[in-house]
Amino acid sequence: VKTVGGCELSLKADGGKVTVTDENGNVANVTIADVEQSNGVIHVIDKVLLPKM
């Protein structure tokens, strides 16, 4: 998935668990999915993923 900032994120679903991997190889777990808001949907992850510097 390409972000608004131009970075690439990889998503993987395995046994009901979803992980997000950034360009640096850092992995975050989706802890809360599908939180509907007035302007979109939020998926909460357990780490901060930063763009490649």
Residue-range domain boundaries for the chain: 1-53
Look at residue 29 and tell me whether its pLDDT is greater than 90: yes
Task: Compute the mean pLDDT over every residue in the chain, rounded to the nearest whole number.
Answer: 95
**How far is 53 from 51, CA to CA, in rounded Å?**
6
Tens digit of pLDDT for each residue in 31-48?
999 999 999 999 999 999
0.95 exceeded by pTM: no
Tell me, what amino acid is at 25?
A: G
Q: Which residues of 25-43 are buried (b: 16+ CB within 10 A; e: fewer)?
A: eeebebeeeeeeeeeeeee
Cβ atoms < 10 Å from Cβ of 22: 19
Q: Is 24 left (phi over 0), alpha (psi -120 to 50) or beta?
A: alpha
